């Protein structure tokens, strides 16, 4: 399985200039190739092959005065840029053929694009020095903050500059088997909700942590400040950078939270089940969708790859009955309930159900997981009391209500 490991990089002023040059050259080659293909397409000619483009747009172009500066960066970076364009075209055509979600045609890269990246493969002879620096051809030895260990030697590294002006080295690592976690028994159903980030079929409710909520609050404040600044003013530019930084903080904090929670759930459970978000999406408002979907799908894909990596089962439940309409105790479907109904009593069996936990239990059951179903109940259905107990105080029931 391929995993991506990203580390923050701190280039010196000179290295930043060299990286800017590499980003620029990669962009020019990409755009030249895109132009060559578009011209061929409009004239009905066969699309030029990547090998031919590599010869004309890199090797031969370097000999011309107009493109001589391409020689100042690693040729691998330029070849990888052509490869990226190849991939963009392939994805575009596969989308047209219905093999994958439809996407736009490749577009020209702009100098002002906020995210820039170049890739070095093994051919570029990049390396990690004995002193722990990242040595890149024609750029130098970059200082890296190694926040975790690489499981093996990667063959490829991308250097990325994000919209907040930060630099990252991103390694693709091939991980093999042999990292399976010891077997454990329970399985768990997860309901991704609006009130809580996730509700588990065992009755636990997980909220997003304070560090994430705080970062989100700061982002909102920065966005409000930006909207008050006059267009084209110097202050607006400053405010925009502030928003970009706050945004990057939120993205990092959210990713960190997703990693922590998904690792914990995969460690604790032999099987994990979630509802297919596409199915779930039908029941939600547009606002909620825009806010939550991106985060949810990132979280679900983490669960999926961690399950595969550690030998756990992962179930995605697609169903036509919304999980909130079915009683997890007796299985009777008693119709839709408005979102503000958080707790209701099943008309058939009398169980008092928490909406979110009930949904999580239904997800687990749909995946065929053996779960304790008492978690969903705020109060179990009323059973006729044995004669001897009639008239005495009822024993307090375990409750999952807050």
* CB proximity list for 273: less than 8 A, separation 6 or greater: 187, 188, 189, 190, 314, 315, 316, 317, 363, 364, 366, 367, 369
Q: CA 2, CA 314: separation in Å to the nearest integer?
A: 18
Could you tell me if 187 and 272 are in contact, meaning their C-beta atoms sit under 8 angstroms apart?
Answer: yes
* Of 43, 39, 42, nearest in space to 53 by CA: 39
Residue recorded with tokens 């024609």: 138
> 45 Cβ partners below 8 Å, 6+ apart?
none
Stretch that binds Zn ion, among 67-75, 223-231, 249-257, 338-346 (CB under 5 A): 338-346
Instruction: Write out the binding residues for Zn ion, residues 172-211 only, by CB under 5 A.
Output: none
Which one of 32, 191, 202, 304 is the catalytic residue?
Answer: 191
- Rule CB under 5 A: say whether 330 interacts with Zn ion: yes
Asked about 275 being catalytic, the answer comes back as yes
Element (H, E) at 68: none
Those residues with Cβ within 8 angstroms of residue 250's Cβ, 6 or more apart along the chain or in another chain: 212, 215, 216, 219
| Binding test (CB under 5 A) with Zn ion, winner from 159, 346, 363, 364 | 346
Check 84, 275, 304, 354 and give the catalytic one. 275
What's the min distance (Å) between Cβ of 375 and Zn ion?
15
Q: CA nearest 371: which of 201, 230, 241?
A: 201
Active site residue 191: yes
| Binding string, residues 2-41; x marks residues near Zn ion by CB under 5 A | ----------------------------------------
Q: Is 343 in the site for Zn ion (CB under 5 A)?
A: no
CB nearer Zn ion, residue 186 or residue 350: 350
CB-nearer residue toward Zn ion: 164 or 348: 348
Angle at alpha carbon of residue 364, lines to 359 and 366, rounded to 5°: 90
Q: Residue 155 or 325: which CB sits closer to Zn ion?
A: 325
Q: Which stretch binds Zn ion (CB under 5 A): 146-154, 237-245, 346-354, 394-402?
A: 346-354
Nearer to Zn ion, 123 or 325 (CB): 325
- Determine, following the binding rule CB under 5 A, whether residue 378 of this chain makes contact with Zn ion: no
Does 353 help bind Zn ion (rule: CB under 5 A)?
no
β-strands 271-275, 313-317 pairing = parallel
Q: Which residue has the tokens 């999580």?
A: 360
Residue indicated by tokens 């039908």: 282
Which CB atom, from 88 or from 349, has the smaller least distance to Zn ion?
349
**Site membership for Zn ion, residue 329 (CB under 5 A):** yes
Q: Which of 20, 127, 313, 348 binds Zn ion (CB under 5 A)?
A: 348
Q: Which of 70, 67, 53 is nearest to 138 (CA)?
A: 70
- What is the smallest separation between the CB atom of 326 and Zn ion, expressed in angstroms? 9
Residue 293 among the catalytic residues: no
Nearest alpha carbon to residue 355 among 183, 139, 205: 205
Q: Show the site string, 299-328: x = touches Zn ion by CB under 5 A, - = not.
A: ----------------------------x-
Report d(CA 399, CA 402) in Å as an integer. Answer: 8
For 155, list phi and psi in degrees, rounded to 5: -100, -20
Task: Give 248 or 374: the residue with its C-beta nearer to Zn ion.
Answer: 374
Of 166, 349, 379, 380, the one binding Zn ion by CB under 5 A: 349
Stretch that binds Zn ion, among 216-224, 264-272, 309-317, 329-337 (CB under 5 A): 329-337
32, 202, 304, 356: which is the annotated catalytic residue?
356
Which residue number, 225 or 348, has a Cβ lying nearer to Zn ion? 348
Query: What residues line the site for Zn ion (CB under 5 A)?
Result: 327, 329-330, 346, 348-349
Catalytic residues: 191, 275, 356
């Amino acid at each position: 399985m391929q995993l991506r490991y990203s580390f923050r990089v701190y280039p010196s002023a000179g290295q930043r200039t060299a990286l800017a040059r590499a980003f620029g050259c990669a962009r020019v080659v990409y755009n030249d190739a895109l132009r060559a293909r578009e011209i061929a397409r409009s004239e009905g000619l066969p699309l030029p092959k990547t090998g031919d483009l590599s010869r004309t747009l890199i090797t031969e172009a370097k000999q011309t005065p107009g493109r001589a500066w391409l020689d100042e960066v690693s040729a691998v970076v330029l070849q990888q840029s052509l490869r990226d364009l190849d991939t963009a075209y392939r994805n575009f055509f596969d989308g047209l053929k219905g093999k994958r979600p439809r996407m736009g045609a490749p577009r020209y890269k702009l100098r002002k694009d906020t995210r820039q990246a170049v890739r070095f493969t093994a051919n570029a002879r990049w390396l990690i020095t004995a002193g722990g620096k990242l040595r890149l051809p024609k750029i130098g030895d970059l200082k890296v903050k190694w926040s975790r260990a690489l499981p093996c030697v990667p063959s490829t590294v991308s250097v990325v500059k994000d919209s907040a002006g930060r630099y990252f080295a991103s390694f693709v690592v091939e991980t093999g088997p042999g990292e399976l976690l010891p077997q454990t028994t329970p399985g768990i159903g997860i309901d991704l909700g609006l009130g809580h980030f996730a509700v588990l079929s065992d009755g636990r409710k997980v909220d997003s942590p304070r560090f994430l909520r705080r970062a989100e609050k700061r982002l909102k404040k920065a966005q409000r400040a930006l909207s008050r600044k006059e267009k084209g003013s110097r202050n607006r530019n400053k405010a925009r950078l502030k928003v970009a930084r706050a945004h990057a903080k939120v993205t990092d904090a959210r990713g960190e939270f997703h990693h922590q929670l998904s690792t914990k759930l995969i460690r604790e459970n032999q099987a994990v089940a979630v509802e297919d978000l596409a199915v779930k999406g039908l029941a939600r408002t547009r606002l909620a969708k825009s806010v939550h979907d991106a985060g949810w799908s990132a979280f679900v894909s983490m669960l999926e790859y961690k399950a595969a990596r550690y030998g756990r089962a992962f179930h995605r439940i697609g169903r036509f009955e919304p999980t909130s309409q079915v009683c997890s105790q007796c299985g009777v479907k008693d119709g839709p309930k408005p979102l503000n109904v958080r707790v209701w009593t099943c008309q058939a069996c009398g169980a008092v159900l928490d909406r979110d936990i009930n949904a999580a239990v239904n997800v687990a059951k749909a995946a065929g997981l053996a779960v304790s179903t008492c978690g969903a109940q705020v109060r179990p259905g009323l059973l006729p009391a044995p004669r001897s107990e009639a008239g005495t105080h009822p024993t307090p029931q375990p409750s999952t209500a807050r």
